[in-house]
Amino acid sequence: MEKTMHNHSSEFAVSNFVSLEAQLERCLDYIPFITPNLTVVSPKFIPLILESCSLIDSIFSKLSGKDSERNNLKAYSMKFEEVLELDEKITLFLPTTLQPLCPFKGWTKSIPEWWDAYNKLKHDRLNNYQVASTANAVLSLAGLHQVMACNKDFIGPFLRVGWIDTRDTDAIDELGSVAGLGALHPSPPTTIVESKLFASPTRENFVRSFDGSYFDIDYESHGLSNRLRNLLFAHEEW
């Protein structure tokens, strides 16, 4: 990646995400994230999709070193996939029965449905309101969560909002090592970024594979919090 983000930019993005996540949580009180509800449409989802994807676009633009220029998602995929490896990234959605999400799956070949929804709503929300669905809202926030998690410049803000488990000594050692190397180590430390509704890897997946409701989890992953372990145990055993 050619350019880093200023601290105030990454702080703003994380603060914005916290607000969007709280809005999504309120929506989920009425529209749970279950299969029959994935296509439910609500005007409440429109700002979640628009703001999440706009932030993704801004982060990619900033990393490109061209603050005044926007590219489409296809161009960003060509530029950043080799570094960020978003195509294979797995995020766990945490509010109900754990759901693995792969928002950028196949993004180098075709535009993800949630990003297509963003483009449609951005240009004509009155005629395209039907794409403001539960699934697209959740995937838009998951996509933003992954993009931030893959970026070293967000580690400080993550620590300040408590999204990295500092009780994990291996994770702390990794944080210290990467911080000590500075610019010589452009990638983030290997850990897990866990907000209220999402858990994403910074680098290697902690969900190694999944098939339906079955997960293959690497329980030795750095930064696997007690809360996340409990959620995984409950999902697997109870």
Residue 181 has pLDDT above 90, yes or no: no
The number of folded domains in the chain is: 1
Classify residue 119: in a domain, yes or no.
yes
Q: Would residue 2 count as lying in a domain?
A: no
How is 165-233 classified by DSSP, letter by letter? -TT-HHHHHHHHHHHHHGGG--SPPS-EEE-SSEEEESSS-SEEEEETTEEEE-TT-TT--HHHHHHHH
Q: Is 69 inside a domain boundary?
A: yes
Q: Which of 34-48, 54-68, 113-127, 170-184 has the lowest mean pLDDT?
A: 170-184
| Mean pLDDT across 156-176 | 86
Q: Which of 23-27, 81-85, 183-187 has the lowest mean pLDDT?
A: 183-187
Reading the block at residue 205, the tokens are 């997946």
Judge whether 1 lies within some domain: no
* CA–CA gap between residue 174 and residue 162 (Å, rounded): 17
Residue 216 lies in a domain: yes
pLDDT digits (tens, 9 = 90+) for 44-96: 999 999 999 999 999 999 888 755 466 799 999 999 999 999 999 999 999 87
Q: Identify the residue with better confidence: 177 or 137.
A: 137
pLDDT band at 2 (very low <50, low <70, confident <90, very high): very low
The residue among 117, 107, 109, 129 whose CA lies nearest residue 60 is 107
Assess whether pLDDT exceeds 60 at residue 5: no
- Across all residues in the chain, what is the average pLDDT? 89
> What is the span of the domain harbouring residue 85?
7-91+100-237
Better-predicted residue by pLDDT, 9 or 133: 133
Query: 62 in a domain, yes or no?
Result: yes
Residue 229 lies in a domain: yes
- Specify the higher pLDDT residue, 95 or 147: 147
The residue ranking higher by pLDDT, 237 or 216, is 216
Query: 35 to each of 20, 112, 174, 212, 216, how far by Cα in Å?
Result: 22, 19, 38, 12, 22
Give percent of the chain above pLDDT 90.
72
Task: Find all residues with CB under 8 Å of 69, minimum gap 6, and list them.
Answer: 61
Q: Which two tokens stand for residue 213?
A: 């409701």
pLDDT at 133: 98
> Is 53 domain-assigned?
yes
Task: Give mean pLDDT, residues 153-167.
Answer: 92
Residue 209 has a pLDDT of 86
pTM over 0.85: yes
